[in-house]
Structure 1
Amino acid sequence: MNSGSRQIGLSKSKITSFEQCPKRLWLQTHRAELAELDAGAEARFAAGHEVGDAACGLCPGGVMIEAEPDLTAALERTQELMSSSAEVPLFEATFAHDGVLVRVDIMEPDGLGGWHVAEVKSSKSRKAYHVADLATQLWVLREAGVQVSSAAIRHLNNQFFLAEEGNYQGAFVDTQSLEDAKPLALKRSKQAEEIRLVLGGDEPARDTGDHCHDPFPCKFVAYCSRDDEPARYPVSSLPRTGRQLAAKWAEHGIVELEDVPPGSFSNAIHARIHEATLSGVPYHDVDGARRIIGDWAFPRTYLDFETIAFALPRWLGTKPWEQVPFQFSAHIEDCEGQITHREFLSLDGKDPRRACAEALVAQISQDGAVIAYNAAFERTCILRLAERFSDLAENLKAIAARIVDLLPVTREHWYHRDQGGSWSIKAVLPTISNSGDYAMLDVADGSAAQLAYLEAIAARTSEARLAEIARSLRTYCAKDTYAMIEVLSHLIGERMPGSLR
C-alpha cells in the first residue's frame, strides 16, 4: 500500500470544501476561529453516525477498522487485511496516496478478487457532491492498487417504512456511480497539487455569491461579507427567479430594486413588489382579502404543528426523514371574537402520534374553518395520522377537509417592502404588528424547534432544562398561531378579536 511521499493532509471532505470555494478551505485550514457557530452541526453529525452504523449492521461479518490510537494504525490495519486477501466487508478501510487520506465507508468483496465500494449518505437521493466524494476515494484506491469492480452512493430508501423496531433491512438503496465518478477521479491528482498551492499561499480573494450556500452553507460567510454594503432591497430578493434577474440587472450596474426603472417587470408579483418598494407604500387589497376570508366559517381554528424528522425512522410505520408532529398550537376564535387557546406537546421521546391525534380530535372544533399558513404541511400531518389510526380516521379527515390556507391570501393581497420578497409569517408579521420579534424567543423557528426536541429527549437533559425547553416550545408555537390571527385581521382591515381565554 502506497501512503505517498508527501505528508498526509488532505481528505475527501477538504477537497469538497475546496471545490465549493478555495477560500473556504483556506480559512478552514488557517483561520478556523473565524467560523460561525453552526447550531445544527452536532445533530447532523449524530444522524450521519447513526446512518453509518445501520448501514454497517446490514453487512454481516464485517470488520470495523478503528483509528486507534491514530490514523496510522488504521492504515496499517487496512494493509494487513488487504494483504491477507480478506473476504469480508470492511468498514472505514483507510488508504492514502499523494498526501490524501480516505476512509471508505463500506467495501464489500465481489467474490472475483475485486471490491464493491459504498459511500454511505443520510440523504434520500444521490447528490452531485456525493459523486465527487466517491471520485476522491476511487482515485486513492486505484493508486493503492485496489481493484474496484463497482461503486455506489448508498443512501436512504424513501420507500422504506419501519415495520419492526430496529430492523433496517431495505432502508438503503445503492445508486451505481462508478462511471459517473471516473472522470472526476482522473482530475484528482492535478487538483491535489492546486489545493496545496492555495493552502501554501495567502488568503485567496473571492467575492460572496451563490457558492456560499451550495452545496453547504459556509461558516465563513459573515467574515467574507464583513466589508460588503448590503442592498436595502436587492433585486435578488424577488421570489423564484430573483437570482437570475439580479444577474441580468447587475450587467447594467443595478443591484437595488429602487434603481430598476418603473414598468420593467412583466411578472405581476414582481411588478407589485417593485411598485411597493419604489413608493414605500404597502400593497393592500382589503376587498380582495375580504371576499376570500369572508367565506371562512366560525369557529375559526388557527393551527400549527412542530415536527421532528429522523434520518432512520424510530417509530413503526414511519420512513426516513418523515416529519412526525410532536406539538401543535390551536387558537380558536368564535363568532363573537373570543379566543381560546389549545395545545399539545410530547417530549418524552416516545412515539407522539397517537396522543397527538387524540388531542386534535378532542380539542379541534367539529365545524368551522381550520386555518393554516402553508396548509399543505398541516393537511399532510393530519392525513398521515388518519392513515395510522383507523379509529380516529373519520374525525381527522374531517379536520383536514376544513383546512384553508392563509399564505396564498396574504401573498395575493399584501406586500410591504420590508418583507424582502418573502411571505413567511416571520417576514410578514413585523410589517403589520408590534407584537414582538421572533428573534427574541429562545426557540425562533422550525429548525430550532427540532433541535430543542432532540435536546429534550436526550438522556443527559435535566428535569429543570426539560421544563425550560417545554416553555420555550409552547411560547414559539403559540406565537405562530396567534400571528395568523394578527395577519388575517390586518388583511381584512379589522381590529384584532377580543379577549383570550
Structure 2
Amino acid sequence: MIGELAQHLFPGGVDASHILRGECFVDKFKMSLPFNLKQHSWIENTKVAIKNNLPIYEAAFVFEDVFAAVDILTYTDNGFVAYEVKSSTDITDTFILDNALQYYVISNNLKLSDFVLIYLNKDYIAELNIPLDQLTIDNCDITKLFVKESVLDKILPIQYKVKSDIVRFKNIQKVGEPKIKRGDHCSIPYECAFIDYCSRY
C-alpha cells in the first residue's frame, strides 16, 4: 500500500515484478511457479525496462548468486538512483543493513549514483489523522506524505561487511540444517521466510 503510493512520486514507470501472460500482466508472486523461475523473469523484465530509461518499480538484480530487489529505480544523467520505501517514520539500523546489501548487488550490475530511503513524514501523518491502511492518492498529498533521504554515506562504509557476510552465509549453506529452537529471532526484525517450514516440526 505505502509502496504503491510512493510510486506516484515517479509516474509512468513499469512494474518489473509482473510478467506478461497472454494479453495481461500477472503478479508473479500469485503464480504457482518455482521461485527461481519467478526471479529469472523478474530480472529479465528489469533488464528490458532499463533500456527504456523509465522509472522501474520492483527492479530486481542478481550478483554472485545473491538476489536483491529495490522498490523504485530511476535513470539520471549521472547514473541510476535506487529508492527503497518504508512504512516507518524513522530510519533504522536494520534498514541501513538491508540497503547496504541492495546497493552491493545493484551497483555490481549498473552505475548507482545514489541510494535513497523514502519514509513517512510523521508530522504530516499526525496532521492527516488517517490510518495508514486507509491512505490513498486521493486523500493525501504524497509530496508531503514522504521524506526522501540519501543513505549513501551510511551504506558505502559497510560494503566490506556485506561482502564478508555473503561469504559467511554461503559457507553456512554448505553445512547441514541446524537444529535451533523457534524464538523471537524468527520474527525480529522481520518474519523469517522459513517460518512455515520450521512450524511443521
Deviation at 1:122, TM superposition (A): 0.7
Give the aligned residue type for 1:196: K
Deviation at 1:107, TM superposition (A): 1.2
> Counterpart of 1:128?
93
Give the aligned residue type for 1:104: V
Deviation at 1:61, TM superposition (A): 1.7
Deviation at 1:209, TM superposition (A): 8.4
In the alignment, the residues of structure 2 paired with residue 207 and residue 113 of structure 1 have an alpha-carbon distance, to the nearest angstrom, of 48
In the alignment, the residues of structure 1 paired with residue 93 and residue 74 of structure 2 have an alpha-carbon distance, to the nearest angstrom, of 23
State the secondary structure of the residue aligned to 1:52. helix
State the secondary structure of the residue aligned to 2:10. coil
> Counterpart of 1:196?
170
State the secondary structure of the residue aligned to 2:123. coil
> Counterpart of 2:75?
109
Query: RMSD across aligned C-alpha pairs, in angstroms?
Result: 2.8
Does residue 215 of structure 1 match 2:189?
Answer: yes
TM-score by length of 2: 0.71
> Counterpart of 1:152?
116
In the alignment, the residues of structure 2 paired with residue 81 and residue 154 of structure 1 have an alpha-carbon distance, to the nearest angstrom, of 22
Give the aligned residue type for 1:122: S
Q: 1:202 to 1:104 in 2, by over 3 A?
A: same
In the alignment, the residues of structure 2 paired with residue 103 and residue 154 of structure 1 have an alpha-carbon distance, to the nearest angstrom, of 15
Give the aligned residue type for 1:65: A
Do 1:162 and 1:168's aligned partners in 2 also have CA atoms closer than 8 Å? no
State the secondary structure of the residue aligned to 1:189. helix
Do 1:106 and 1:119's aligned partners in 2 also have CA atoms closer than 8 Å? yes
Do 2:17 and 2:42's aligned partners in 1 also have CA atoms closer than 8 Å? yes
Deviation at 1:92, TM superposition (A): 0.9
Deviation at 1:75, TM superposition (A): 1.3
Does residue 87 of structure 1 match 2:43?
Answer: no
Give the aligned residue type for 1:54: L
State the secondary structure of the residue aligned to 2:143. coil
Deviations 1:257-281 (A, max 9, x none): xxxxxxxxxxxxxxxxxxxxxxxxx
Deviations 1:228-254 (A, max 9, x none): xxxxxxxxxxxxxxxxxxxxxxxxxxx
Deviation at 1:206, TM superposition (A): 6.3
Deviation at 1:216, TM superposition (A): 4.4
In the alignment, the residues of structure 1 paired with residue 182 and residue 56 of structure 2 have an alpha-carbon distance, to the nearest angstrom, of 41
In the alignment, the residues of structure 2 paired with residue 215 and residue 66 of structure 1 have an alpha-carbon distance, to the nearest angstrom, of 24
> Counterpart of 2:104?
139
1:479-494 equivalence runs, <5 A: none
Query: Which blocks of at least 5 consecutive residues in structure 2 are unaligned?
Result: 20-27, 29-37, 130-137
Deviation at 1:150, TM superposition (A): 1.4
Do 1:139 and 1:186's aligned partners in 2 also have CA atoms closer than 8 Å? no
Do 1:61 and 1:89's aligned partners in 2 also have CA atoms closer than 8 Å? yes
Do 1:116 and 1:151's aligned partners in 2 also have CA atoms closer than 8 Å? yes
In the alignment, the residues of structure 2 paired with residue 80 and residue 214 of structure 1 have an alpha-carbon distance, to the nearest angstrom, of 36
1:453-468 equivalence runs, <5 A: none
In the alignment, the residues of structure 2 paired with residue 213 and residue 53 of structure 1 have an alpha-carbon distance, to the nearest angstrom, of 24
Deviations 1:378-436 (A, max 9, x none): xxxxxxxxxxxxxxxxxxxxxxxxxxxxxxxxxxxxxxxxxxxxxxxxxxxxxxxxxxx
> Counterpart of 2:13?
62
Deviation at 1:55, TM superposition (A): 0.5
In the alignment, the residues of structure 2 paired with residue 195 and residue 106 of structure 1 have an alpha-carbon distance, to the nearest angstrom, of 27
Give the number of aligned pairs.
168
Do 2:104 and 2:159's aligned partners in 1 also have CA atoms closer than 8 Å? yes
1:441-456 equivalence runs, <5 A: none
Instruction: Between the two structures, name the one with larger relative contact order (CA 8 Å, sep ≥ 6).
Output: 2
In the alignment, the residues of structure 2 paired with residue 216 and residue 75 of structure 1 have an alpha-carbon distance, to the nearest angstrom, of 24
In the alignment, the residues of structure 2 paired with residue 113 and residue 80 of structure 1 have an alpha-carbon distance, to the nearest angstrom, of 20
1:350-429 equivalence runs, <5 A: none
Segments of 4+ moved more than 6 angstroms: 205-210, 217-220
In the alignment, the residues of structure 2 paired with residue 131 and residue 207 of structure 1 have an alpha-carbon distance, to the nearest angstrom, of 28
Greater radius of gyration (CA): 1
The one of 28, 44, 65 aligned to 1:76 = 44
In the alignment, the residues of structure 2 paired with residue 100 and residue 120 of structure 1 have an alpha-carbon distance, to the nearest angstrom, of 21
Mean alpha-carbon deviation: is it higher for 116-125 or for 57-66? 57-66
In the alignment, the residues of structure 2 paired with residue 105 and residue 154 of structure 1 have an alpha-carbon distance, to the nearest angstrom, of 10
Deviation at 1:205, TM superposition (A): 6.4
Deviation at 1:162, TM superposition (A): 3.7
TM-score by length of 1: 0.31
Do 1:152 and 1:175's aligned partners in 2 also have CA atoms closer than 8 Å? yes
The one of 97, 117, 138 aligned to 2:63 = 97
Do 2:80 and 2:114's aligned partners in 1 also have CA atoms closer than 8 Å? yes
In the alignment, the residues of structure 1 paired with residue 178 and residue 98 of structure 2 have an alpha-carbon distance, to the nearest angstrom, of 23
Do 2:14 and 2:49's aligned partners in 1 also have CA atoms closer than 8 Å? no
> Counterpart of 2:153?
179
State the secondary structure of the residue aligned to 1:107. strand
Do 2:96 and 2:154's aligned partners in 1 also have CA atoms closer than 8 Å? yes
Deviations 1:83-136 (A, max 9, x none): x3x3321111111111111111111223x2412211111111111111111111
Q: Which has the higher strand share?
A: 2
State the secondary structure of the residue aligned to 1:170. helix
Deviation at 1:67, TM superposition (A): 4.0
